């Protein structure tokens, strides 16, 4: 089976079994991924956090774009974690990119305890629209607190439901459509 096919099947299966948590049945495509990772300079050598890595569609592109960066990603679905780890090893990114099996909430709460420097970028595909108001509020607060001063939170969604919530927590926000993705999406860029 080709890598592209196994990626799609893994995600389709996750989407069918846990639709609310997965937020779709196809991984993000290149137009959306390009918009998501564009603000991270190719020469960036710091820490990037990715929340909800799924099959690693974005993680792999990000690792290729920023060879000097350290990427710490989390994914709540342990079956998807197995697939992403395999793909990262095949691509030769094992070591520079770490994937942890668990929730974004847990990872964000542990970052301080790991003694890590605050990241300049938090990139997320978590389906906020399916989480419920209080959970979204807590997650956005944790992201805001975790980011370094001037750092950027980048989030894609398939609706504008959480635009107000994001604007309420970040000084500068921008919303950009990604019409060529299926399904169409918007990308939020929110600067601390
Ligand atoms: C819409 S998919 C995005 C996947 C991938 N980033 C992409 O662009 O194709 C959302 C992913 O977030 C994961 N997820 C949902 N809630 C999560 C949480 N609280 N913590 C970590 N991952 C979560 C889901 O399992 C799913 O793989």
* More confident of the two residues 83 and 5: 83
Residue 44 CA to ligand 1 center (angstroms) comes to: 24
pLDDT (0 to 100) of residue 11: 80
> pLDDT at residue 15 above 90?
no
Domain coordinates in residue numbering, the chain: 29-191
Indicate the pTM of the whole model.
Answer: 0.95
Closest C-alpha residue for ligand 1 atom 25: 22
How far is residue 79's CA from residue 179's CA, in Å, rounded to a whole number? 29
DSSP 68-90: T-EEEEEES-HHHHHHHHHHHHH
Mean pLDDT for all residues in the chain: 93
pLDDT (0 to 100) of residue 36: 98
User: What is the Cα gyration radius of the chain?
Assistant: 15
> What number does the ligand 1 atom closest to the CA of 21 have?
15
- The residues near 175 (Cβ < 8 Å, ≥ 6 apart) are 160, 163, 186, 187, 188, 189
> pLDDT at residue 1 above 70?
no
- Angle at CA of residue 72, ends 77 and 64, nearest 5°: 105
> pLDDT at residue 67 above 80?
yes
* More confident of the two residues 185 and 2: 185
> What number does the ligand 1 atom closest to the CA of 36 have?
8
Residues with CB under 6 A from ligand 1: 21-24, 27-28, 51-54, 57-58, 74-77, 80, 103-105, 125-127
How far is residue 156's CA from residue 124's CA, in Å, rounded to a whole number? 7
> pLDDT at residue 14 above 90?
no
Closest C-alpha residue for ligand 1 atom 22: 52
Q: What is the three-class DSSP state of 137? A: helix
CATH number for region 29-191:
3.40.50.150
Please write the tens of the pLDDT for every residue from 101-160.
Answer: 999 999 999 997 777 889 999 999 999 999 999 999 999 999 999 999 999 999 999 999
> What number does the ligand 1 atom closest to the CA of 106 have?
20
- Partners of 44 in the beta sheet? none
pLDDT (0 to 100) of residue 8: 85
What average pLDDT does this structure show over 82-92? 95
Please write the tens of the pLDDT for every residue from 22-40.
Answer: 888 888 899 999 999 999 9
């Amino acid at each position: 089976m080709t890598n592209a096919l196994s990626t799609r099947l893994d995600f389709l299966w996750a989407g069918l079994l846990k639709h609310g948590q997965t937020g779709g049945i196809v991984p993000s495509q290149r137009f959306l991924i390009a918009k998501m990772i564009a603000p991270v300079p190719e020469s960036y050598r710091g820490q990037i956090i990715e929340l909800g890595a799924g099959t690693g569609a974005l993680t792999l592109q990000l690792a290729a774009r920023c060879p000097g960066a350290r990427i710490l990603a989390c994914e709540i679905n342990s079956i998807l974690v197995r697939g992403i780890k395999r793909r990262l090893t095949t691509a030769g990114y094992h070591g520079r990119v770490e994937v942890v099996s668990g929730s974004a909430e847990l990872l964000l709460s542990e970052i301080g305890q790991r003694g890590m420097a605050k990241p300049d970028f938090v990139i997320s595909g978590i389906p906020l629209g399916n989480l419920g108001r209080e959970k979204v509020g807590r997650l956005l607060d944790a992201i805001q607190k975790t980011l370094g001063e001037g750092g950027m939170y980048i989030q894609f969604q398939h609706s504008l439901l959480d635009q107000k919530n994001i604007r309420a927590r970040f000084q500068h926000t921008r919303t950009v459509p990604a019409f060529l993705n299926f399904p169409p999406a918007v990308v939020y860029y929110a600067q601390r």
